[in-house]
Amino acid sequence: MASRRPLPFDPIEEAARQWQQRWDGVESMRAVTSLMRAQQLVLAQLDDLLKPHDLSFARYEALVLLTFSRRGSLPLGKMGERLQVHPTSVTSIIDRLERSGLVERRPHPEDRRAVLAQITEAGKRAVELATVDLVKERFALSALDEPALAELFALLRPVREHAGDF
């Protein structure tokens, strides 16, 4: 990630200070703004870690999903469901992975309307190498220790559940 000079103040704290002069809900606003900013920062760091592997985090997740499947392949529709992304996003992800030689499209053996994405040997190697780098850098969350990571997961789980994520 390109280094930049940090601000001399926390902009979210400043926004919260101004917010509370006008509206209620300052803790909700502060929490969601922090969450969204953290997401931007972590995603940028993940993409930087994956760049040497010619992957984005979205393409990495797709390769991991295929790696976890029994046959190394899944229908594109099922991939969209599991990755929780729009079908056009899955198509774009698979297009890019296919151009890179990391997946191949195959006809579904039982459903002529469906197309399978099949991970290639190069895709298997790429996901293994990328995973080593991500684990080494703790998925861009090295500022948190193991108990804090578990706490973060526990804090976010009810938000995901309430939203119907699972």
Q: How many CA atoms lie within 13 A of 32 on its CB side?
A: 5
* CA–CA gap between residue 105 and residue 100 (Å, rounded): 13
Beta bridge partners of 117: 74, 105
Positive or negative: CA dihedral 127, 133, 134, 136: positive
Q: What percent of the chain has pLDDT over 90?
A: 92
Report pLDDT for 112.
83
Residue 1 has pLDDT above 90, yes or no: no
pLDDT of residue 114: 87
pLDDT at 4: 80
Determine the Cα–Cα distance for residues 69 and 84; give it in Å rounded to an integer. Answer: 16
For the segment 131-152, what is each residue's pLDDT rounded down to a tens digit?
999 999 999 999 999 999 999 9
DSSP string for 66-81: HHHSTTSEEEHHHHHH
More confident residue, 60 or 110: 60
Burial class (CB within 10 angstroms; exposed 0-12, middle 13-18, buried 19+) of 154: exposed
Q: Kindly state the percentage of the chain with pLDDT values over 70.
A: 98
Better-scored residue on pLDDT, 5 or 104: 104
Q: What's the angle, vertex CA 73, arms to CA 71 and CA 43, rounded to 5?
A: 120
pLDDT band, residue 3 (cuts 50/70/90): low
Please provide the average confidence, as pLDDT, over all residues in the chain.
95
The confidence score (pLDDT) of residue 127 equals 98
Q: What is the DSSP letter of 37?
A: H
Strand order in the sheet with 73-75: 73-75, 115-119, 103-107
pLDDT at 71: 94
As a whole number, mean pLDDT of residues 35-56 equals: 96
What pLDDT, on a 0 to 100 scale, did the predictor assign at position 77?
Answer: 93
Give per-residue pLDDT as tens, 95-131. Answer: 999 999 999 999 998 888 889 999 999 999 999 999 9
